[in-house]
Amino acid sequence: MTEDGLAHRQLKMKHFCLCLMPVLVLLLLGSERVEAKKYLRCELTRVLVENYNFDKTFLSNWICLVEHESNLDTSKITLKQNDSKNYGLFQINSKDYCAEGRKGGQCNMKCEDFSNDDIVDDIACAKMIQEREGFKYWKKWDRFCRNSQNLPNLRVACNLRSLSPLRTPRSFFYISG
C-alpha cells in the first residue's frame, strides 16, 4: 500500500470514529435523559413571576440567591465538606431536605430530581425552606445578598413591573414535616 493510500485509509478511519463517537455516548448514557437548564437572569425572573406566582417583593432576593448558589444552572451539584451534596437551582442540601436515590428528607424528595429542568419540585422545597429558616439558610445569600444594596434591580433590568402571573397560581404540593 502506498503512503497516500495509507493516509487516505487513516483519514477514513478517523472520520468513522468521529461519526461513531456521539452514538456510543448516547448508548452509554442510556435511554433515561435528564434535561438541564441554564437560565438567564431576566428569563428566570419572568418564569418565577408568570408561571409560579412569586411575590415581587422578595424576587430580587431569590434571583440573587440562585445566581450565587447555582449560577442559574439547574444541573449544579456541589459536594460539601460533611459529605452531603447541594442540588439544583436552589442548591438544596441532601442532609436535611432530600434523600439520594429515594424520596426523603423534610421535603420528601429525591435529591436527583432537583437537578433537571423541571423546577416545580425545587420551588416547592425552596419555599418551604425559606418559610422555616429564611433566606439565611443559604450561605451565599447570607454572604452576597443580605445587604439590599447588593440585590439586582429587576424593575429596571428585567422590566419587573410589566410581569404578572399568566394564570392562577400553580398549586404546589404541600410538604408535610
Label residue 2 exposed, middle or buried (CB < 10 Å: 0-12, 13-18, 19+). exposed
Q: Is residue 144 part of a domain?
A: yes
* Listed range (9-13, 38-42, 118-122, 157-161) with the worst mean pLDDT: 9-13
Same domain, yes or no: 141 and 64: yes
- Say if CB 113 and CB 121 are below 8 A apart: yes
Tell me the pLDDT tens digit for each residue of 108-133.
999 999 999 999 999 999 999 999 99
Half-sphere exposure of 51 (CA within 13 A, CB side): 10
Same domain, yes or no: 50 and 99: yes
Same domain, yes or no: 54 and 124: yes
CA distance 95 to 37: 24
State residue 3's pLDDT score: 65
- Say if CB 91 and CB 138 are below 8 A apart: yes
- Say if CB 103 and CB 109 are below 8 A apart: yes
- Say if CB 70 and CB 88 are below 8 A apart: yes
Same domain, yes or no: 93 and 6: no
The model's pTM is: 0.75
Higher pLDDT, 146 or 7: 146
Q: Is residue 117 part of a domain?
A: yes
Q: Is residue 62 part of a domain?
A: yes
- Percent of the chain scoring above 90 in pLDDT: 71
Q: Is the pLDDT confidence value at 4 over 80? A: no
CA distance 128 to 122: 10
pLDDT category, 24, cuts 50, 70, 90? very low
CA distance 35 to 108: 22
Q: What is the CATH number of the domain that holds 78?
A: 1.10.530.10
- Cα dihedral 166/169/171/175 (nearest 10): 130
Total tally of structural domains belonging to the chain: 2
Determine the structural domain holding residue 57 and report its residue range: 41-162
Q: Is residue 176 part of a domain?
A: no
pLDDT category, 35, cuts 50, 70, 90? confident
